[in-house]
Structure 1
Amino acid sequence: RLFWLLSPHAGARVAALLRWADLHPSMGKVARALADPAHPDAATLTGLAGLLILATFLLGFAVSITLIGPAALTVNQAVLDLGLSLRTPPADTLMAGLSRLGDPFVLLTQVLIVFLYLRWRRHRRHANYWLAAAAFALVAAPALGWLLQVPRPVPGLIALSPWSFPGIQVLGATVVYGFLAIAIARGLAPLWRWVPYVLATLLVTAVALARLYFGAEWLSDVIGSIALGLAWIAVLGLAFRRHSQFDRRWPGLVAVAALALAAGFTARTLTDHGANLARYRPVPEPVAIAASAWRDGGWRALPGQRLDLWQHNRHPLDLQYAGAPAQLAERLAPFGWRPAETLTWRSAIRFLSPTLPLAELPVIPHVHDGGHETLVLVKDEAGDDTRLVLRLWSTRYRLDGRVPIGVGNVTVQRKEILAGLFALPITGDDYRPAAAVLAAALAGQPDPGDAAPRLLLLPPPADRDTPGDDAP
């Protein structure tokens, strides 16, 4: 839309630029070179010049933000909080894939293959411009990062660089995909020249959203990285369009670029997917708490409500457990609690069988603080339509600095049939206090001792903040 809005007015802007060049003979040489009316792409050149001016303005704004500290900008903090609140394991996998579109290995693979293709086709000048686009990101990102030293919003995420601006993935994606769009559009009819720019925009946007989702860069730094990349490819695009010949063999370039992107992306996914996800899930600094202090009220420091995307907080976390999850499952097994079958791609097919009892349906994972449960136990109640689900999530707290402490709750699930086609295990608003549900299972159990796992069953949410109220 922007392309078609600006294109009809390009001629008037070129004429104005030429009049300015006549009034300023020294500086006007550059303007006259950019706005040469004899050039067949004068409208596009003017559009790229305007893009350069806009990108320079945005870059200056983003750099000024870094001088006062990006964390002080309200919108930066709001976007960071939003991204972290959206985190779930499946979304982590998706966003890690989108971020991989800007991975240096993926981009360099594409740059190398496209460069070899252009040299094979004897487009030497085109190949040199292509290398210049990629080299800028490799030089500018570490140099400006060291000069500005803008820390990342969430430290410890990326081992490649500790600096948020400029982000090498966002900057690299902007210059590589952006200049590729300019090169491909050069051979297209004017009616279709917007297509490669839209595709490049989608790729860069995907990388930028993934970086914001993981808290790898501030919003102002992402904008600054994109603006810096746009400024560079605008300059390259102006020179490239002035000095390159019209090439109608763009389908070959598109095919080679697409295959190179697919090859680099696939190779990186197969060799680095697990490690990449681990880098995006930094282990929080553990917090030690003494066993006596934990029992005497220190348990109040742990989360008391489930932190999920919708912030419903319908299910209090009224169970705290210190020890290995498998030991808790072993302890409760004689009382009817069994490990639950959680949702997988294979087990999801059962949702299409409305006649199956609830006991045969997988448990849909719940998210707390960006992660899924470390333990899920179920206990069937009377009938086939209700069951109890015990969930336990890990925390950063360690009993006596060694034993991990988890938080959890007990909820009620019922089977609901939708449109006569789907059977879903729905966790309702029913709240079953863990103390009431597990009291019978724990009654008469011997004292586990200081070295054994510990279980705290907490008072109801309304009583948790009552001074002097201790856990049973």
Structure 2
Amino acid sequence: MGEQALGILTGLAETHPIWLVLLAFIVAFLESLAIVGILVPGIILLFIVGTLIGPEWTVFMACWLAASGGALLGDGLSFWLGWRYRARVPTLWPFSRRPELLSRARDQFHRHGGKAIVIARFIGPMRPIVPMIAGSMHVSNALFYRYAIPACIAWAPLYLLPGALFGASLELAAEFAGRLASLLAILVIGLWLLLWVTRQIYEFTARRSGWWLRSLIRWLRSHPRLGRLFGPLLEPGGREVLSVTLLGLLWLACLAVLLAVLLAAPFADTHWDADRQIASWAGSLRNHFADPVLAAIALATGSRAMLFLAGAFAVILLGLGRINATWHWAMAMIGGWFSGELLILLTGLMMERPEVMPSLGEVPFRPYLLACLVFGFFAVLLAKDLGARRRKWPYLATTLILGLSGFAHFYLGRASLPGLLAALALGLGWVAMIGIAYRQRASRRPHAPGLVLAFYGLALGAAVVNARSGLEALLEATELRPPAQSISRQAWQAGDWRKLPDRISSLGPFERHRFDLQLAAPMEAIEQALLAAGWQPVPEVRLGDLGSILIGRPDRAELPHLNKDFAGRPDDRMLRFDTQEGPVVLLRLWASGARLTPDGEPVWLGQVRAVEPGLFLGGLTRWYELGDRTDDAASILDRALPNWWQAAPEGGPRLYALPD
């Protein structure tokens, strides 16, 4: 379903750009609308809109105008609302709970006058507020729009252009480094969204926790038994009541998630093998540039590194004389680890683990559980020593680290989603429970900067040591290889070709990533036949060859053909055929892992496409595939192999094999 949704979204952007223009207008309008804009992650949404625009600069200009118009309409409506309800503005949310927002906006006007409208347009929290304040302060329409119109026009491209540049380079990056661009997009947008959600939840609960706490205390007083049990934790004069309450809410949420994952995990074990398939979502992102980086991140938050970090930091706490913190640190590590081992044993009795990668069957996934315990409890411990305004930063840092760690394990195919979710829920739930006890008993210490340097210094040292000693072994263990299999020639011709992968990647439109052919023959025989028919081998791309991309219109004989990745491996062979007046025909071949019996011919997966050079990003040059000329390209390949066995099954790739 996710793949279909992505294909539909991309297809709509390509065939019906008016929907993209409309989306830019709506997002900019909501981002600029009073109060509503505070809740809308407009930066992320406009970046995504820009990504879908790609290299089409006419569409970019239309989206620019639409976003500017939407922003101006949102500002104008906010300005009118401020004028219409000027007496009630201080009583509206969020000004009623955060009056400093109102005072900051008014200070902007007193200090900068009409320029405050321009300044606020480029400051996220103030953007949906200042126009309303301007209306409530009786700013004239002429003055307001004199500054609002140029501000909206200048603001829109700053949010659309990064995404447009990124989207325009997706295809180039897809050729040069597999799915590297898509991987970077997922990491940047995903981590950005994760941090934004974490910060919003923290600030939302922090602002309302006082009211929640009072309501909870009143409710507990009406229940004598529960009041005696939990009342001491929530005494009005007790220490760290707010933090204890928030940790309690986190514990309840983690408990609910853990129970849900444990109930659903037995139904997901049949899909674990798919997590290791080369056409899976994780496999579609694999490329030989990102593999070492994410493998190093996985090792940095792996079991060995986390056990070392937990032990070394306990020694530091003990050396500082923080006996209470050391005791709770040990309880968090040992208790969480023991609970995880019990759950792994229990789920192991209910589900079988895959033979290729047994860690996929770990629910919860052990290394990620240890990372959640170590980094999670350090955030609780550090936040205790910080002021109220700075306590969110340890939690945001932990969110970033755990987000990267979880994605790295999933990307490498070491952990399943149920295993990661169970580890996250158990780890953070246990940290919250021990954190409640710690925050009730501990006193604030003035060693926060030293603890940060010591903890993250140890973490960095452990990461470097583990990466140097285990990187090659981990890359080899997690390498995606096409499964070796033997298929009889007759069975392959009759339909067993369906057992082989049908696409390079699960991300994006199927037609763009589908394999056009399967070719059964030794590579020497393939090259001999094609060279005799006028095809030419494509040389490997060197760094100096990339300079021709920067030339406005280089000769097509000089423009390099960049590699595509399949399962993290570049194509094994590329050959091209130059037609006299038409486009270039390019053939790419990848090893499938299959061989035909009885002679053992390897089966190659291939794409044959018509390509021609064209401009993108306004001045660079690259090869573009001509989707409407794919059949013509296949016909040229047919004529190059006249004596070979050929078949074109309906809905499948073309099949080629040496004659009997």
TM-score tier after normalising by the smaller chain length: 0.7 to 0.9
State the secondary structure of the residue aligned to 2:311: helix
1:31 corresponds to 2:230: yes
Give the drift of 1:230. 1.6
Distance 2:416 2:257 in 1: 15
Contact 1:182–1:237 under 8 Å retained in 2: yes
* AA partner of residue 64 (structure 1): L
Corresponding residue for 1:389? Answer: 586
RMSD: 3.9
CA gap 1:252/1:462 in 2 versus in 1, 3 angstroms: closer
In 2: Cα distance, 1:463 partner to 1:14 partner: 63
Match of 1:362 among 550, 557, 560: 560
175-184 vs 371-380, which moves further? 371-380
Q: Which amino acid counterpart does residue 249 of structure 1 have in structure 2?
A: H
Farther-moved stretch of structure 1 (223-232 vs 134-143):
134-143
Partner SS state of residue 321, structure 1: strand
The offset of 1:237, in angstroms, is 0.9
Is the 1:318–1:460 Cα contact (8 Å) retained in structure 2? Answer: no
CA–CA separation in structure 2 for the residues paired with 1:311 and 1:116: 54
2:338 aligned partner: 139
**Distance in 2 of aligned mates of 1:190 and 1:315:** 51
Partner of 1:452: none
Of 226, 233, 251, the match for 2:431: 233
CA–CA distance in structure 2, aligned partners of residues 250 and 193 of structure 1:
11
Q: Which amino acid in the other structure matches residue 120 of structure 1? A: G
1:245 corresponds in structure 2 to 443
* CA gap 1:456/1:278 in 2 versus in 1, 3 angstroms: farther
Choose which of 347, 361, 364 in structure 2 pairs with 1:148.
347
Q: Deviations over 1:182-229 (max 9, x none)?
A: 122112210121111112112222333344445554444433321111
Whether contact under 8 Å (1:187, 1:250) holds in the other structure is: yes
**Local SS of the residue matching 1:245:** coil
Q: Residues 136, 92 of structure 1: CA spacing in aligned structure 2 closer, same or farther, 3 A cutoff?
A: farther
Partner of 1:261: 459
1:351 aligned residue? 549
Distance 1:315 1:131 in 2: 51
Instruction: Give, in whole Å, the separation in 1 of the partners of 2:231 and 2:513.
Output: 68
Higher helix residue share: 2
Aligned to 1:114: 313
| 1:7 pairs with 2:206 | yes
User: Counterpart of 2:316 in 1: which secondary structure?
Assistant: helix
Asked if 1:165 is matched to 2:363, the reply is yes
Query: Alpha carbons of 1:459 and 1:26: their partners in 2 closer, same or farther (altered >3 Å)?
Result: closer
* Structure 2: stretches of 5+ with no match in the other structure: 1-199
Partner Cα distance (2:284, 2:498) in 1: 25
Please tell me whether the aligned partners of residues 373 and 431 of structure 2 are also in contact (alpha carbons under 8 angstroms): yes
Counterpart selection for 2:597 from 396, 400, 403: 400
Identical counterparts, % of pairs? 23
Q: Read off the aligned partner of 1:126 and give its amino acid letter.
A: A
Gaps in structure 1 of 5+ consecutive residues: 445-454
| Per-residue deviation, 1:143 | 2.5
Distance 2:546 2:326 in 1: 49
Query: How far apart are 1:43 and its partner, in Å?
Result: 0.8
SS across alignment from 1:242: helix
Alpha-carbon shift at residue 158 of structure 1 (Å): 3.6
Instruction: Report the number of matched residues.
Output: 452
Question: Which of 273, 280, 301 is matched with 1:102 structurally?
Answer: 301
Q: Alpha-carbon deviation of 1:136?
A: 3.7
Q: Is the 8 A contact 1:83 1:215 kept in 2?
A: no
Deviation at 1:349, TM superposition (A): 4.5
Provide the TM-score with structure 2 as the length reference.
0.59
Q: Conserved in 2, the CA contact under 8 Å of 1:435 and 1:459? A: no
Identify if the C-alpha distance between structure 1 residues 309 and 364 changes in structure 2 by more than 3 Å, giving closer, same or farther: farther
Please list, as runs of the form range in 1=range in 2, the aligned pairs for 1:122-137 lying within 5 A after superposition: 122-137=321-336
Decide whether aligned partners of structure 1 residues 142 and 398 sit closer, same or farther in structure 2, where only a CA change above 3 A counts: farther
For each residue in 1:334-366, what CA deviation from the matched residue of structure 2 results, as whole angstroms up to 9, or x when unmatched?
555444345676754542233543333332333
Distance 1:4 1:309, change over 3 A: closer
Aligned CA distance change for structure 1 residues 277 and 403 (closer, same or farther; 3 Å): farther
Task: Quickly say closer, same or farther: Cα 1:376–1:293, change in 2 above 3 A.
Answer: same
Query: With structure 1 as the length reference, what TM-score do the two structures score?
Result: 0.80
CA contact (8 A) 2:279 2:503 kept: no
Amino acid at match of 1:459: A
Q: Which residue of 2 aligns with 1:275?
A: 473
Q: Distance in 1 between matches of 2:226 and 2:502?
A: 66
Task: Give the C-alpha shift of residue 151 in structure 1.
Answer: 4.7
Q: Which amino acid aligns with 2:648?
A: P
Q: Is the 8 A contact 1:376 1:389 kept in 2?
A: yes
Using the TM superposition, give the Cα deviation of residue 305 of structure 1 relative to its aligned residue in structure 2, in angstroms: 5.8
The CA distance in 2 between the partners of 1:198 and 1:249, in whole Å, is 20
Alignment correspondent of 1:51? 250
- For residue 91 of structure 2, what is the aligned residue in structure 1? none
The answer to whether the Cα contact below 8 Å between 2:537 and 2:576 also exists between their aligned partners in 1 is: yes
Q: Which residue number in structure 1 is paired with residue 197 of structure 2?
A: none
- CA distance 1:268–1:434, shift in 2 (3 Å): farther
Which of 388, 398, 416 is equivalent to 1:200? 398
Q: Which amino acid aligns with 1:393?
A: W
CA apart distance, 1:244? 2.2
The one-letter code sitting in structure 2 at the alignment partner of 1:398 is R
8 Å CA contact 1:319–1:457 kept in 2: the answer is no
Report the 3-state secondary structure (helix = DSSP H, G, I; strand = E; otherwise coil) of the residue aligned with 1:37. Answer: coil
Deviation string for 1:427-460 (max 9, x for gaps)?
222215676434565468xxxxxxxxxx654438
Q: Is 2:382 aligned against 1:174?
A: no
